[in-house]
Structure 1
């Protein structure tokens, strides 16, 4: 892990190196840094349009005619692309990437930063507040207002929690030595802000049971997910 005064800006090279490292965990952890400016739009503009190209792609892929199903699945996938690199950089490198300049691809779900920026992570419990502010308050609450179909707010919060825990599970598998830093942070996040009350960790592997449902089961070929809050209901 890198080190620096909590909350202080981290050097661009350190942030870029952290993002490059965690991108190797899986595709949800990848954020492009730099490169050509064409083909990207500011994330707030994409949010104002409700991530419409992603929603349309999800609807076509899952053959769903119910717009709120496509909206929820697209929201869940985007939440995973936010939580994954932010959580991994904080746990593995002690850096919280800055997302204010984040850009979204015009073609697919890819994210980009024109340049790497971030701050050194604070210790718990402040780190949980840092990450909640970066991902939930700073990004997902902005997206919520632009979604093209009405979806229950607590369902969206459950999507965010599910994406967070799944990101944690991926880090735990790839870097098991980080367990001591990772698990307490995920647990604290699940009691923070909009994530509070969304679900419960049920195992040492960060298995999770959410209290809501992402609606994937309503797609023609869909099913209940492993953490679905409906799974035990009659």
Structure 2
């Protein structure tokens, strides 16, 4: 992949542009080092602080609900900028060295790097998949609470589809490449079989549930596998 390496300037410009889309697309670039730590440290700690923040916010009675929602939010923060960078700028961002804010879920890359998607030897979808899922695998390995693996896979797919749906609404001109990439990703690795796209707006129906409905004020999400249409296959 060395020959496909994108320039630092190009990667920085791409990340700054997609951050302007707002929400989960924001992946900070460079800046001061204080206030940040390697996200691997948070993985090893099981994302305990973020799970506890979920418990306080939603008054959830079950630790696995807290963990699932923290995992889902992190997946969205990984998939959103990665997907947008590829579709809008043809760049697969390198998420090695990713850092997390000491006081919250925000992410940054201290030294931006990446690859030009059209210069990669293999499928760009596979490259994006590897960049994101290696982080989610590390997070899953560090969890202190038992959560069904396919539930976590469903969270990842839901976050991906949610990012695609949001990007399509913001940049409708990229419908074709966005749909192609999203479809390819949902057929890759652990994402395969997690759910189905249900319409041209890239709406998604997952085959599992993130467990948000088990929070006191929670409900079934729009893509929940417990809703009629696709049988839920993850333990509840």
Q: TM-score, normalised by structure 2?
A: 0.93
Aligned residues: 229
Aligned twin of 1:102: 98
Q: Which residue of 2 aligns with 1:135?
A: 132
Q: Which moved more, 1:67-76 or 1:19-28?
A: 19-28
Shift of 1:52: 1.4
How far is the alpha carbon of 1:7 from its aligned partner? Answer: 6.1
Q: Shift of residue 125 of structure 1?
A: 7.3
Residue 88 of structure 2 is aligned to residue 92 of structure 1: yes
Is the contact between residue 6 and residue 121 of structure 1 (CA under 8 Å) also seen in structure 2?
Answer: no
**Matching of residues 206-221 of structure 1 within 5 Å:** 206-221=202-217
2:148 counterpart (152, 157, 180): 152
Residues 205 and 112 (structure 1 numbering): CA distance in 2 closer, same or farther, change over 3 Å? Answer: same
Contact 1:125 1:188 in 2 (8 A): no
Describe how 1:1-234 pairs up with structure 2 within 5 A: 8-122=4-118, 126-136=123-133, 138-232=134-228
The structure-2 alpha-carbon separation of the partners of 1:125 and 1:166, relative to structure 1 and needing over 3 Å to count, comes to farther
Structure 2 unpaired stretches of 5+: 232-236
C-alpha distance in structure 1 between counterparts of 2:203 and 2:3, whole Å: 31
CA, structure 1 residues 103+120, in 2 after alignment: closer, same or farther (shift >3 Å)? Answer: same
Q: Which runs of 4+ in 1 moved over 3 A?
A: 122-125
Aligned-residue Cα RMSD (Å) equals 1.7
Q: Is the 8 A contact 1:25 1:170 kept in 2?
A: no
Tell me the secondary structure at the aligned position of residue 4 of structure 2. Answer: coil
Structure 1 residues not aligned, in runs of 5+: none
In structure 1, what is the Cα distance between the partners aligned to 2:170 and 2:112?
23
Q: TM-score, normalised by structure 1?
A: 0.94
